[in-house]
Amino acid sequence: MSNRVAFGCALIITLAGPVMADEPAPVQGPVADTMATEYPNQKIGPRVLNVENNVPASSGKLLEEQGKWLNDHGISPHLSMTEIYLRNPSAGLSTGNHEALTLFAIGSDFNLDKLVGIPGGTLHFEQLYVPWTSNLAYGTQVGDVIAGKPGPYIPRVSHLTLFTYEQKLLDDKLAIEVGKSNAGNYFALPLCNVPLGCVNAILQDTAGINPPPYANWGARIGYDLTPALRAQVGAWRSNNAYPFTNGWERSSGDSGGTLSTVYLANLAYRTDYHMEAYPQTYEILGFHNNGEQTDPYYTVNGTSKVQDSTAAARTSKGVSGFYLGAKKTFWRQDGGKGNDVNPTALTAFASLTHTVGQDTANGVGTQGNAGLILSAPFRSRPFDSYSVNVNWAQLTTREQRFLEEAHEAVGAGSYSPGRNEYGVSLDANFVLTDSIVVSPFVLRTWGASTWLNPYSTVSPRDGYAAGLLFHIQFDELLGLNAHH
């Protein structure tokens, strides 16, 4: 444990964060998301995976008076629906398939100062319902890291996604939070235009953060060194059978999973247009998971798992790695001199995630992505954004050897894909109202693998995949969140 503590402390102490830009911050205008009126680091919970929506909230909504009453009494309800549709017309192992999911999120933030007189205390809660699903096998039908991994596998209807107590101290600079949550709500926040376009297999599986919506027992401490610069440490229990958990388990429950603990430490600098003319984001994150790793290739006899199927797989203790991310607005049509919080602008982003060691069970050694986001190119639609996103995934040498031998073992012939896979996608966010966002994307892959379906008798195909996300924030639509 001492090595992990030293690692986390060293990560935070040795890094020097960038300084705030000298330009005066633009005048802040009203925005739909209450969390967005705070510093960017304040946005927590599953909402970080939704597209930012900066449309000013309109008045005269159906439940606006009730929303104001709830807000005055410390209750901020959250009710949303997200429809996800994915299709692979020409990419993967079995082409021409689609997946569809309908997700409802119901929850609330409870201001305990207003409710019971506990200054700085907040209770966060969110429950997810997925009543309608179609073709949860989509990921294995595609099979690769870039197009196949983002396909959500949610076999259970109900999931506790957030149930934590957060305490702010020292003039709200220090935050302590404990309970059930997903570590991805707070660490390595998505940089790309549509979060489904930069799913990180290393952080979700190798680090053990688990994909959203899966929640684990955890605790974090965050301290704001400046309004934009935050240092955090945290630890979460991780269950590698997360698709079969519902979030209410006290231990592994009936999911049949193996529990481990992931330790995280990061330093993140984030600004937005309310803070400076050219916003920027930088994050460095280190992780260690103490769980047992099953070698992708070797058995305890030093032989191949494919050739020596009766022998147990070789195992090792723990895995570590790091994440680096950066995002910077570098051009504005108004030259950065206006007060518009939704200017026509170009933003570049990039991230890199790497696992130390070749014996990680996940088999993905390195992932990276980079791209450009064009915001508000049409002034008649100032909240829309368009992006080109380049993804790269590299398998470990042991995972590659396993895939090659597994492919030949089922009589599928020689395995042609290499360790590296690439993808280029185009996506957009069409913000229809202050509560409705539509996000389409199209993706082209090269070097697709059988990573999610290693014993498939079909060779993976490079090609196209596409998707559409439709998000409605019902609490905003009905006026249940007061912003005026």
Question: Is the peptide bond between 150 and the residue preceding it cis, with omega within 30 degrees of 0?
Answer: no
Radius of gyration of the chain (CA): 22
Distance from C-alpha of 442 to C-alpha of 196, rounded to nearest angstrom: 12
Alpha-carbon distance values, 484 to 36, 71, 171, 387, 480 (Å): 14, 11, 24, 32, 12
Q: Tell me which residue of 341, 448, 419, 347 sits closest to 389, measured CA to CA.
A: 347
Three-state SS annotation for the chain: CHHHHHHHHHHHHHCCCCCCCCCCCCCCCCCCCHHHHCCHHHCCHHHHHCCCCCCCCCCCCCCHHHHHHHHHCCEEEEEEEEEEEEEECCCECCCCEEEEEEEEEEEEEEEHHHHHCCCCEEEEEEEEEEEEEECCCHHHHHCCCCCCCCCCCCCCCEEEEEEEEEEEECCCCEEEEEEEECHHHCCCCCCCCCHHHHCCHHHHHHCCCCCCCCCEEEEEEEEECCCCEEEEEEEEEEECCHHHCCCCCCCCCCCCCCEEEEEEEEEEEECCCCCCCCCEEEEEEEEEEEEEEEEEEEECCCCECCCCCCCCEEEEEEEEEEEEEEEEEEEECCCCCCCCCCCCEEEEEEEEEEEECCCCCCCEEEEEEEEEEEECCCCCCCCCEEEEEEEEEEECHHHHHHHHHHHHHCCCCCCCCCCEEEEEEEEEEEECCCCEEEEEEEEEEECCCCCCCCCCCCCCECCEEEEEEEEEEHHHHHCCCCCC
Cα 335 vs. chain centroid, distance in angstroms? 32
Distance from C-alpha of 240 to C-alpha of 129, rounded to nearest angstrom: 21
φ/ψ of residue 34, rounded to 5:
-60, -35
The reported pLDDT for the residue numbered 133 is 96
Distance from C-alpha of 189 to C-alpha of 182, rounded to nearest angstrom: 12
Q: For 44-53, b where at least 16 C-beta lie within 10 A, e where not — what string? A: bbbbbbbbbb
The reported pLDDT for the residue numbered 13 is 32
Q: Which two tokens stand for residue 264?
A: 């995280």
Q: Which residue has the tokens 């079995």?
A: 94
The reported pLDDT for the residue numbered 24 is 36
pLDDT in tens, 167-218: 999 999 999 999 999 999 999 999 999 998 899 999 999 999 999 889 999 9
Domains of the chain, with CATH numbers?
26-478 (2.40.160.180)
Alpha-carbon distance values, 266 to 68, 335, 365 (Å): 36, 33, 20
The reported pLDDT for the residue numbered 33 is 35
Q: For 443-474, b where at least 16 C-beta lie within 10 A, e where not — what string? A: bbbebbbbbbbbebebebbbbbbbbebbbbbb
The reported pLDDT for the residue numbered 44 is 57
Low-confidence ranges of the chain (pLDDT < 70): 1-49, 52, 253-254, 482-484
The reported pLDDT for the residue numbered 484 is 38
The model's pTM: 0.90
Q: Tell me which residue of 153, 368, 349, 177 sits closest to 270, measured CA to CA.
A: 349
